[in-house]
């Protein structure tokens, strides 16, 4: 069996997770008693994957303990705020081989890494409803033949991906060539894959049920999975707002960032059906 390694992408700012992401990277949130990225590292180790690299960026200093406590390698992406995840993958291009490429904020109720893959694959779940996700078209042998942005009644990309060595070699060459272009740096690495899918070694679809891979794009989605966050968001900002309004944290929902990510924090939220605006600069609350 080929030796496998893992790369966990943890550089992003998770702006949709405002305001918790202003205080703590989403990967370091405690979900049902475990820190998300720590749980994923443990699951990889249980599957025999000991060579783990974590690509950091936003609040990188908060991840430093992982090197000492979990023995992972940390790689810093100084372009995390300017470019997309291509800028993270290019920094570990020398690590791509038989490699799991993982999102740091996924929660796997059961260990998805235990079954040794025979081929490179991209994980997928089914969506009945229209979505802006990346939807997959496959042939009769489950090879991924095309990827389209947006769709419904189909299987879309989610969670972890596994590169076998043949795919890694071919994709690394393309990524190196493409990364000189500004438009490529602004894209996801999956966009390069979409562009060159016909000339790359095949990846196969790996289908999962809805409860096998959990993603939390907003605080409300996290609350649905871990009710402990309903009245205790672990956010000093939300706690302060609740105190000002004389309510429970659970009465506040629908958090949306209103300011650009490089501007002073402003976000709106719902209380009693009204949308209010919070400005961090002057700690003020007003009707949106």
In the predicted structure, residue 2 carries a pLDDT above the cut 80: no
31-43 mean pLDDT: 97
Whole-angstrom Cα distance, residue 74 to residue 38?
Answer: 14
pLDDT of residue 116: 77
User: SS3 for 5?
Assistant: strand
Whole-angstrom Cα distance, residue 154 to residue 150?
Answer: 10
Give the dihedral sign, CA 191/192/195/201: negative
**Considering the chain, what percentage of its residues have pLDDT values greater than 70?**
100
Q: Which segments of 128-199 are extended strands (E)?
A: 131-138, 144-151, 154-163
Structure confidence by residue, pLDDT tens digits, 136-154: 999 999 999 999 999 999 9
In the predicted structure, residue 189 carries a pLDDT above the cut 90: yes
- Confidence at 1, pLDDT banded by 50, 70, 90: low
* 221-224 CB contacts, 8 Å cutoff, 24+ apart: 222/29, 222/31, 223/253
- DSSP secondary structure string, 53-66? EEEEBTBGGGGTHH
Residue among 103, 54, 56 nearest 79 (CA): 56
Using the structure block, give the residue that is written with the tokens 């966009």. 191
HSE-CB of 143 using CA atoms within 13 angstroms: 9
CA 25 centroid distance within chain: 11
- Confidence at 127, pLDDT banded by 50, 70, 90: very high
Cis peptide before 142 (omega within 30 of 0): no
Q: How many CB atoms lie within 10 A of CB 212?
A: 15
Whole-angstrom Cα distance, residue 227 to residue 239?
Answer: 16
Query: Is 130 exposed, middle or buried, given 0-12, 13-18 or 19+ CB atoms closer than 10 A?
Result: exposed
Q: Are 19 and 235 in contact (CB under 8 A)?
A: yes
Whole-angstrom Cα distance, residue 4 to residue 164?
Answer: 9
Structure confidence by residue, pLDDT tens digits, 74-113: 999 999 999 999 999 999 999 999 999 999 999 999 999 9
Structure confidence by residue, pLDDT tens digits, 165-183: 999 999 999 999 999 999 9
Q: Are 29 and 104 in contact (CB under 8 A)?
A: no
Whole-angstrom Cα distance, residue 218 to residue 214?
Answer: 12
β-bridge pairing 253-257 and 266-271: antiparallel
């Amino acid at each position: 069996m080929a030796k496998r390694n893992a790369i966990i992408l943890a550089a992003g700012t998770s702006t949709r997770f405002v305001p918790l992401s202003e205080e703590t990277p989403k990967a370091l949130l405690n979900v049902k008693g475990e820190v998300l990225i720590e749980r994923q590292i443990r699951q990889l180790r249980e599957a025999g994957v000991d060579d783990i690299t974590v690509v950091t960026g936003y609040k990188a200093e908060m991840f430093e303990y992982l090197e000492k406590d979990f023995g992972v390698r940390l790689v810093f992406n100084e372009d995390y705020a300017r470019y997309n995840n291509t800028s993270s993958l290019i920094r570990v291009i020398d690590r791509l081989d038989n490699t799991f490429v993982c999102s740091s904020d996924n929660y796997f109720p059961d260990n998805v890494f235990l079954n040794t893959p025979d081929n490179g694959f991209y994980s997928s779940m089914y969506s009945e409803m229209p979505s802006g996700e990346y939807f997959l078209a496959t042939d009769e042998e489950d090879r991924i033949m095309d990827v389209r942005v947006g769709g419904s009644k189909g299987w879309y990309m989610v969670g972890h991906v596994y590169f076998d060595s043949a795919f890694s070699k071919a994709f690394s060459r393309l990524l190196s060539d493409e990364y000189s272009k500004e438009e490529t740096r602004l894209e996801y690495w999956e966009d390069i894959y979409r562009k060159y899918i016909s000339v790359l070694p095949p990846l196969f679809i790996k289908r999962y049920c809805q409860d096998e891979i959990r993603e939390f794009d907003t605080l409300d989605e996290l609350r649905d999975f871990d009710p402990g966050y309903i009245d205790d968001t672990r956010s000093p900002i939300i706690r302060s707002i609740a105190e000002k309004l004389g309510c429970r944290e659970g009465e506040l929902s629908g958090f949306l960032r209103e300011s650009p990510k490089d501007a002073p924090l402003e976000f709106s939220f719902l209380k009693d059906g009204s949308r209010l605006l919070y400005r961090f600069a002057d700690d003020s609350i007003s009707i949106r």
